[in-house]
Amino acid sequence: MAQVKESPQKAEKEPRPPLKLWIAPVALGWLVPGGGHFYLKRWNRGALLLLAIAGMFVFGLLMRGKMFDRVDGDLFTMALNYGGMIGDMATGALYFLTTWFGYSQPELPAADPDYGTKFLVCAGLLNILAMIDAYEIAVGKKS
């Protein structure tokens, strides 16, 4: 039996959810890790995310990880540094408080600071996943 595939024109698109449903949980989730889940009254998930992301960020600082900065140069260097900077900034208030207090660690040639740098970026990437989760809960795609 041959399967009939629908043409792209016949496939119906899902309507985009209203902005007022998801903007507050996503913005709070960026500003405070787990904040979007607290806003949606998902207390356990919010607390777990807050502990995981803040813990990963603090361990990255304790290992003397470097925060990424804007660096001009070749395309690979720029992509690496801007990607790392976006990962750092995705932790929201943690990043802004840390830079406001003057944390500026030079790149050190050792394993601990290198792992610390990765911890700082991964904390931001985990927060991006938490914001996506808060979005999906807010629009009703996930319970």
Sign of CA dihedral 57, 60, 66, 71: negative
Q: What is the mean pLDDT of residues 66-75?
A: 84
Q: Whole-angstrom Cα distance, residue 90 to residue 47?
A: 18
Categorize the per-residue pLDDT at 9 as very low, low, confident or very high, splitting at 50, 70 and 90.
low
With a cut of 60, say whether residue 10 has pLDDT above it: no
Decide if pLDDT at 3 tops 60: yes
CA distances (Å), origin 64, targets 55, 107, 117: 14, 9, 8
Q: Looking at residue 32, what is its pLDDT?
A: 96
Does residue 111 surpass a pLDDT of 70?
A: yes
